[in-house]
Structure 1
Amino acid sequence: MDAITTALREQHEELDALLAGLDDAGWARPVPDCPGWSVADVVLHLAQTDELVVSAADGGFAAAAERVVPGAVGETVDDTVGRMVAHQRGAPGPAVHARWRAAASTLREVLAASDPRRPMPWVVTDLPARTMATTRLSECWIHTHDVAVALGVALVPGDRLRHVARLAVRTVPYAFARAGLPAPGPVAARLTAPDGSTWHLGDDDAPTVVTGSAADFCLVAARRLDPAAAEVRATGPGADDVLRLVRTYA
């Protein structure tokens, strides 16, 4: 749990550094990978969902979302988070920044104090606290990337992406289930880390294996990079579908 909460703190710090000192024009910049959202909207979304992790412990995700914005729960998760942002947008950028900082700090405190196996209610099921921490790391990393693109800043990938890549590999069955397809069986990844080393994720004898750039694999799983344009490939049963469907979020 210490490793993942440390990585989460580091990811929060990377986003915080991007946001520090933004002027009104910066907060209003459109985010290409989140159509209709500004930088302020993305940060508001992170604040809202960090708050939901904590409040969902009492009554579950849907009830917590309803407490934030009555009528927010839609047919899909995207519907729900879109309604929440639309309902609460409009605060000045610095106020949104302060709200997210407070939410992120509380989230880290709750996760750090949790047993890694503690069940925490989330979108479709309870998640162990360690998995919840990893999903929040992934979510923040994805949106840090989004904000960086909007601001024209190039980020340097780091070792904490290992947690994101591991989450993507472990949730392949979930990704296939969402698509209404049978899972292909065990999937492993042999990825080139940012420092040039190799990350071995998943079972050594898995019939389906993803290889290539760890950073690109994470961007593919984040739905921020087309697999055809990524430095990744997959071999084995369901290989093309693995790259098409892999994801790190609900």
Structure 2
Amino acid sequence: MADVFDDLTAEYQQLDAMLTSLTPEQWAHPSGAEGWTVSDVVLHLAQTNEVISEPAAGEATPFLSSAGSSVDDVVDGMVAAERGSPPADLLARWRRSAFATADLLRAQPPGTRMPWVRTSLSPRTLATTRIAEHWAHAQDIAVPLGIAYPDTDRLRHIAWLAHRTLPYAFSVEGLPDAPVHCDLTAPGGARWTFGDPAAPSRITGPAAEFCRVGARRLTPAQTALTAEGPHAAEALRVLRNYAA
């Protein structure tokens, strides 16, 4: 795959171009994330970047320090505590945190593990999760506003992450792990495959739709994806583009 840190920066640049074009009314518009405006989405992205780029010395991440709450409740509380900033301030805050995060992750020595949500990840995997989250929330902004946000081959990182975390996704649902092969068509027409081709279960179809199912922006029934074998349909049902 292309360098994940370069692709993280490129994803930030694509989102930056869209955010720069927004009017004040669009910043206040409801987003695709239930209960959040576009401003709230950008605030959330800035806050979660800052967990990486500006960690409080000697303190656990907000996710670890709120171990009795769900991750969704934690991030909702973080946004509620700071919402209300003018769009220009929010954009500047997001830019500062985003590009600092990309630089910091790239600079980590081999073997580094970094705290994230309630686990730890390598810098490369953490960069992949940032691509996935920024891409998903870009959909939450672009789709309600009717703005084009073209899919790119950076989706390969997201599709890899979704397949890689299938064992965890099965376990969260109380299901046994099962091998699943994915044969996906990239936005540019290339073929992306993940997993053992001999696996009895197989998912095929557009990578962009596979990633949207993993981001919970589409249901499997809303896509052209096909699920064959004993566990493929379950895999699509539990699919998630994040490592937590």
Any idea what the Cα deviations from partners look like across 1:73-118, whole Å, max 9, x if unmatched?
6521000000000000000011111000000011011111123542
Structure 1 letter corresponding to 2:49: D
Per the alignment, do residues 59 and 174 of structure 1 end up closer, same or farther by CA in structure 2, a change over 3 Å counting? Answer: farther
Q: Which runs of 5+ in 1 are unaligned?
A: none
Q: Residue in 2 aligned with 1:162?
A: 156
Any idea what the Cα deviations from partners look like across 1:97-153, whole Å, max 9, x if unmatched?
100000001101111112354211111211111111100110011011111112211
CA distance in 1, matches of 2:234, 2:57: 37
Q: 1:95 aligns with which of 75, 89, 94?
A: 89
RMSD: 2.1
Classify the secondary structure of the residue corresponding to 2:181.
Answer: strand
Q: Residue in 2 aligned with 1:48?
A: 47
Alignment of 1:20-39 (within 5 A): 20-32=20-32, 34-39=33-38
Q: Are 1:227 and 2:225 an aligned pair?
A: no
CA distance in 2, matches of 1:73, 1:15: 31
Q: Residue in 2 aligned with 1:106?
A: 100
CA distance in 2, matches of 1:56, 1:139: 19
Per the alignment, do residues 83 and 219 of structure 1 end up closer, same or farther by CA in structure 2, a change over 3 Å counting? Answer: same
Q: Residue in 1 aligned with 2:62?
A: 65
Q: Which runs of 5+ in 2 are unaligned?
A: none
CA distance in 2, matches of 1:57, 1:238: 43
Alignment of 1:73-222 (within 5 A): 75-115=69-109, 117-184=111-178, 186-222=179-215
Structure 2 letter corresponding to 1:205: A
Q: Give the count of matched residue pairs.
A: 243
Structure 2 letter corresponding to 1:19: L
Q: Residue in 2 aligned with 1:7?
A: 7
TM-score, normalised to structure 1, is 0.91
Structure 1 letter corresponding to 2:61: A
Asked whether the 8 Å contact 1:190–1:211 carries over to 2, the reply is: yes
Asked whether the 8 Å contact 1:73–1:79 carries over to 2, the reply is: no
Per the alignment, do residues 144 and 208 of structure 1 end up closer, same or farther by CA in structure 2, a change over 3 Å counting? Answer: same
* Offset, 1:236: 2.0
Classify the secondary structure of the residue corresponding to 1:190.
Answer: strand
CA distance in 2, matches of 1:2, 1:86: 37
Per the alignment, do residues 78 and 155 of structure 1 end up closer, same or farther by CA in structure 2, a change over 3 Å counting? Answer: same
| Identity over aligned pairs, percent | 48
TM-score, normalised to structure 2, is 0.93
